[in-house]
Amino acid sequence: MLVQHTARTSITNIKHRMFKTYLRLLSFAKPLSRYTIPYFIFAALHAVFNTVNYAMIIPILNSMFEKDFVFTPVYEFPGLEFNTEGFNNLLCYIYTHTQGEEWHHVHFLGMLAVVTIVMNLFSNLFRYAAAMTVERLRVNTLQRMRDEMFSRVLDMNVGYFSEQRKGDIMSKITQDVMVVQYCITNTLQVAFRDPFLIIGYLALMIGISWQLSLFAIVFLPIVGLVIGNIVKRLRHPAKRGQERMGDMVSVLDETLAGMKIVKGYNAAEFIADKFKKINAHFSQLMISMARRQQLASPMSEFLGITAVGVILVFGGSLVVDGEIQGAGFIAFIAAFSQITRPLRSFIDQFANINQGVAAGERIFSIIDAESEVKDMKNAREFEGLKESIELKNVHFSYDGSREVINDVSITIRKGETVALVGASGGGKSTLSELIPRFYDIQAGEILFDGVSVKEFNQESLRRKMSIVSQETVLFNDSIEGNILMGRPSATHDEVVEASKIANAHSFIMDSPEGYETNIGDRGTKLSGGQRQRISIARAVLKNPEILILDEATSALDTESEKLVQDALTKLLEGRTSVVIAHRLSTIYNADRIYVIDQGRVAEQGTHQELLAKGGIYAHLIEMQSFS
């Protein structure tokens, strides 16, 4: 008893949640009434004209086959009467006024044809108007949805974006939004258009014979239930299909981004195998989904026809008994076979709502995701550094278990250049990323002039900083567009000046379209040194007070390194900076050097002091044989 009760409440909860998600999806179309009210009107008119269209079968058949069909002129408008006789009177009235009193069989048929065509024209015009209203609603909704998702993604903390997440986000923004769009379009049809059609056809059927209608109505729910059951089992494979698609996009993204590595290591086969496996799995799911989907229509049509057969027998006997006219009966069958179509889609679409809501939930998982690095309620503006940045006994771990930074304390005074050196994997990049608060630390403090980094509004903090890393990040845009990212309000002259400081001006001018040259996806059309100098120009343009250079020169050849090095030296002048570097030239002049080893500060001091000490630093220098 109790178990049953809980089960029922949880189903109610699920339905409630589904409904809420669904409303929330719809609420992206603003204002909703701007779409639903016209849709309501158009759908109703479509149903009216469509029904009349089917009713036209009766007079057409009658005038052709009924031997005792008599025409009586009607001069006064007979009013709208809802039955066969009223309908006939109306047609006679139209005939009298268009063709005169003289009865002519062919003229009458011609008039019926014209009326049918006009009714059909109206029916389809309103159908088109209704469909376009839904299209507008759909496009508008999706546009807002994608915008919102994208801006939410931009708000997330850096740690949120693991490789797996990236594929997932891509599949949500592309795939799930597609699923939702069909759900929205279809459910509106279910909510308005189909019920109107069903009402219209039912009215026509009852107008012809209420006994037969009653009989038919008993059948509809039975047919409906059977069909509904078949369609219901669609949801699960659909969900797994989405996940597989996410995996596939992941592999695709990785491969495209790392094409050189794939080719260089002859790993194409390896990657292709991986892709094929996921692809095959996906196809299997698609087939099992398609099997159910494709079965639904034939099955329901077959069942519909079976129902028609039963009606045929019952109705036929009514005709033989003279209860209904033959023409009326045929119109009835036509209307009845039509009613199963909206009825079927009515049931089909409920399965789609499930799918759409499931996709909607995935979309909201992005929209509702909370950044782990959040601004405080009354976060203050970072106005600039007055004295120093201090890291005090900082502990940090990416995954919450393995400590990557273990009790590190570092001081960077205003105007100083502090260098971090050490073996790779020691935690230097991680430390440099803690300063702009890309991650929150687990213990210790990061202070700007004695105030915790968490108290500042992140945007104001980052406004004062530039980060140039080994991995230059360029976007598929012009060179100028990429540099402007440093300060979008800058003028062209300022961009040129920044490029000159970054030693980038001359190669930019040599490019085919100068500053307007498109640099290709992720900057693939440029050499490593050129990319690096563009990202330095970007940092120069931003003119930051605090500068973080993470191995900005390590990937360069000697020639471009010298150019980049010059650019960096100019950039460092008069700024507070943290420099991570392999090469002596950059760290030689640092005010203080910290040797980071396995997440700890192993040594600290100036170049001379550390050399004299003969510890890790001296060893590193010796090993790497700096010139």
Ligand X SMILES: Nc1ncnc2c1ncn2[C@@H]1O[C@H](COP(=O)(O)OP(=O)(O)O)[C@@H](O)[C@H]1O
The footprint of ligand X (CB under 6 A) covers 398, 404, 424-430
Task: Write the single-letter amino acid at 138.
Answer: R
Q: Which is nearer to ligand X, 406 or 460 (CB)?
A: 406
608 binds, among ligand X, Mg ion, none (CB under 5 to 8 A by kind): none
When asked if residue 429 is in the footprint of Mg ion (CB under 5 A), the reply is yes
Residue 186 touching Mg ion (CB under 5 A) = no
The four Cα atoms 354, 359, 363, 364 give a dihedral, to 10 degrees, of: 20
Region binding Mg ion by CB under 5 A among candidate stretches 98-106, 123-131, 149-157, 426-434: 426-434
Instruction: Report the nearest approach of ligand X to the CB of residue 430 (Å).
Output: 3
The three-point CA angle 114-116-119 to 5° equals 110
Say which residues have a Cβ less than 8 Å from residue 468's Cβ, sequence separation at least 6: 532, 535, 536, 539, 547, 548, 549, 550, 552, 568
Query: Binding of Mg ion at residue 565 (CB under 5 A)?
Result: no
Q: CB under 5 to 8 A by kind: which of Mg ion, ligand X, none does 427 bind?
A: ligand X
CA nearest neighbour of 258 among 246, 270, 245: 270
Q: Which does 450 bind (CB under 5 to 8 A by kind): Mg ion, ligand X, none?
A: none
Q: Name the minimum Å distance from CB 405 to Mg ion.
A: 13
Total binding residues toward Mg ion, as defined by CB under 5 A: 1
CB of 405 to ligand X, least distance (A): 8
Select 88 or 429, whichever has its Cβ closest to Mg ion: 429
H or E element in which residue 451 lies: strand 451-452
Residues 544-563 that bind Mg ion (CB under 5 A): none
The partner in contact with residue 238, picked from Mg ion, ligand X, none with C-beta cut-offs of 5 to 8 angstroms by kind, is: none
Q: Which partner, Mg ion, ligand X, none, binds residue 520 by CB below 5 to 8 Å per kind? A: none
Q: How far is the CB of 245 from Mg ion (least distance, A)?
A: 34
Q: Which is nearer to ligand X, 385 or 408 (CB)?
A: 408
Task: Name the amino acid, one letter, at 386.
Answer: K
What lies within 8 Å, CB to CB, of 487 at 6+ separation is: 494, 541, 542, 543
Which residue lies nearer to Mg ion by CB, 425 or 450?
425
Window 366-395: residues binding Mg ion (CB under 5 A) = none
> 242 is in the binding site of which of Mg ion, ligand X, none (Cβ under 5 to 8 A by kind)?
none
Specify the residue, 138 or 428, whose C-beta has the smaller distance to ligand X.
428
88 binds, among Mg ion, ligand X, none (CB under 5 to 8 A by kind): none
Stretch that binds Mg ion, among 272-280, 380-388, 425-433, 455-463 (CB under 5 A): 425-433
Question: Do 43 and 196 form a contact (C-beta atoms < 8 A)?
Answer: yes
398 binds, among ligand X, Mg ion, none (CB under 5 to 8 A by kind): ligand X
Partner in contact with 466, chosen from ligand X, Mg ion, none, beta carbon below 5 to 8 Å by kind: none
| Cβ contact 244:282 at 8 Å | yes
How near is the Cβ of 402 to ligand X at its closest, in Å?
8
311 versus 421: smaller Cβ distance to ligand X: 421
With CB atoms as reference, the residue minimizing the distance to Mg ion is 429
Residue 307 vs 590, nearer CB to Mg ion: 590
User: What would the two tokens of residue 329 be?
Assistant: 């009966």
Q: Which is nearer to Mg ion, 429 or 565 (CB)?
A: 429
Residue type, 478: S
Q: Judged by CB under 5 A, which stretch of 105-113, 278-286, 358-366, 429-437 contacts Mg ion?
A: 429-437
Q: For ligand X, which is the closer residue by CB, 197 or 593?
A: 593
Please give the structure tokens belonging to residue 436: 């702009």
Task: Give dist(CA 74, CA 91) in Å, integer.
Answer: 9
Q: What is the rounded distance in angstroms from the CA atom of residue 492 to the CA atom of residue 505?
A: 12
In whole angstroms, give the CA distance from residue 435 to residue 428: 12
Measured CA angle at 11 (ends 295, 6), to 5 deg: 140
Part of the chain binding Mg ion (CB under 5 A), chosen from 32-40, 62-70, 335-343, 428-436: 428-436
Q: How far is the CB of 614 from ligand X (least distance, A)?
A: 22
Q: Do residues 341 and 194 touch, judged by C-beta distance below 8 A?
A: no
By the 8 A CB rule, do 355 and 515 touch?
no
Q: DSSP letters along 382-439, please? A: ----SSEEEEEEEEE-SSSSS-SEEEEEEEEETT-EEEEE-STTSSHHHHHHHTTTSS
Rounded CA separation 146/457 (Å) = 26
Q: Are 214 and 331 in contact (CB under 8 A)?
A: no
> Which string of DSSP letters, residue by residue, matches 294-316?
HHHHHHHHHHHHHHHHHHHHHHH
Cβ-based burial of 417 (10 A; exposed 0-12, middle 13-18, buried ≥19): buried
Question: Least distance (Å) from Mg ion to the CB of residue 428?
Answer: 5
Q: How near is the Cβ of 253 to Mg ion at its closest, in Å?
A: 23
Query: What is the smallest separation between the CB atom of 362 and ligand X, expressed in angstroms?
Result: 24
Separation CA 405–CA 109 (nearest Å):
91
Tell me the closest approach of the beta carbon of residue 434 to Mg ion, in angstroms. Answer: 13
For the bound state, the minimum distance from the C-beta of residue 580 to Mg ion, rounded and expressed in Å, comes to 6
Q: Which does 378 bind (CB under 5 to 8 A by kind): Mg ion, ligand X, none?
A: none
- Find the part of the chain contacting Mg ion (CB under 5 A) among 38-46, 313-321, 421-429, 541-549: 421-429
**Closer residue to ligand X, CB minimum distance, 207 or 426:** 426
Which listed option, ligand X, Mg ion, none, makes contact with residue 426 (CB within 5 to 8 Å by class)?
A: ligand X
Q: Minimal CA–CA distance to 335: which of 112, 87, 91, 56? A: 56
CB-nearer residue toward Mg ion: 146 or 582: 582
Distance CA 478, CA 496 (A): 14
Residue closer to Mg ion, measured from CB, 124 or 397: 397
Q: Cβ atoms within 10 A of the Cβ of 422, count?
A: 23
Q: Could you give the CA distance from residue 504 to residue 133 in angstroms, rounded to a whole number?
A: 52
- Which tokens is 32 given? 């909703």
CB of 372 to ligand X, least distance (A): 13
For residue 41, report the phi and psi dihedrals to the nearest 5 degrees: -65, -50
With CB under 5 to 8 Å by kind, the binding choice for 425 among Mg ion, ligand X, none is ligand X
**Sheet arrangement for strand 546-550:** 465-469, 546-550, 576-580, 417-421, 592-597, 600-605
- C-beta of 40: minimal distance to ligand X in Å? 52
Q: Find the helix or strand (DSSP H, E) in which 68 lies.
A: none
- Rounded to the nearest whole angstrom, what is the least distance from the CB of residue 426 to ligand X in the complex? 4
> Which option in Mg ion, ligand X, none does residue 266 bind, with CB closer than 5 to 8 A by kind?
none
List the single partner that 430 binds among ligand X, Mg ion, none, CB under 5 to 8 Å by kind: ligand X
* CB of residue 487 to Mg ion, shortest distance in Å: 26
Under 8 Å between Cβ of 438 and 373: yes
Provide the binding-site residues for Mg ion, judged by CB under 5 A. Answer: 429
